[in-house]
Amino acid sequence: MKSMKSIALAILSTLALGANAATNLVTNGSFEQTAQTNWSTYTSLPGWTGQPNVELRNNVSGKAQDGLNFVELDTNANSGITQNITATGLVELSFWYSARPGTSSGTNDLQVSFGNSFQATVLQGVGNSTSTHNWQHFTQIVNLGNSGSAVLAFYARGASDSLGGSLDNISVTSVPEPETYAMLLAGLGVMGTIARRRKQKAA
């Protein structure tokens, strides 16, 4: 009986590891930690440093993908935001983006980089003739190796005209190593065997 309890505890621990893997390593990924009415420009937001500043919006020129707030990275001119993320190994980067409503192509370009491992540009040459956001979801597995930390950065790269793309709901989550999945499957197999033996004894 004690050994069965030990096995059950080990399985629960493995499941807990899987749950922890889903923890968002980004601080203030949906920009909700600032009470915002309309819009304002800041040199920093909780968790984020403006490069040199960032525009926070609440239901102005579109609605947030998550919560109430979202950011635009073309304030008076092209700008950006950065945050240092503590992580190693494989992580999943996720964020939502949209061209600003009522804009033509060439003004919404948005560049993302994560340490020295990853860089991409979205909304390159994309406009939005509608009056609402067209949120798109971006995900990418990034290998941070043994660095311990890496800078996550977003920059406006389109025309520097104060009409940039929108960004919201940013997350970075650890990707469990294959060994973790193997442990989970083995644990579930053991639990299945125990359940079958109990059923046989009861019969």
Count of structural domains, the chain: 1
Give the pLDDT band (50/70/90) at residue 193: low
Whether 6 maps to a domain, the answer reads no
Where do the H-state alpha helices sit in the chain? 2-21, 178-202
> Domain containing 44 — which CATH number?
2.60.120.260
Give the pLDDT band (50/70/90) at residue 184: very low
Whether 199 maps to a domain, the answer reads no
Whether 159 maps to a domain, the answer reads yes
Whether 35 maps to a domain, the answer reads yes
Q: Where are the beta strands (DSSP E) in the chain?
A: 38-45, 48-58, 69-72, 80-86, 90-98, 110-114, 118-122, 136-143, 149-156, 166-174
pLDDT tens-digit readout, 148-166? 999 999 999 999 999 999 9
Whether 48 maps to a domain, the answer reads yes
**pLDDT given at position 150:** 98
Of 2-6, 78-82, 123-127, 144-148, give the lowest mean pLDDT range. Answer: 2-6
Whether 2 maps to a domain, the answer reads no
Give the pLDDT band (50/70/90) at residue 51: very high
Give the pLDDT band (50/70/90) at residue 50: very high
Residue 199 has pLDDT above 70, yes or no: no
* Residues of the domain holding 129: 26-175
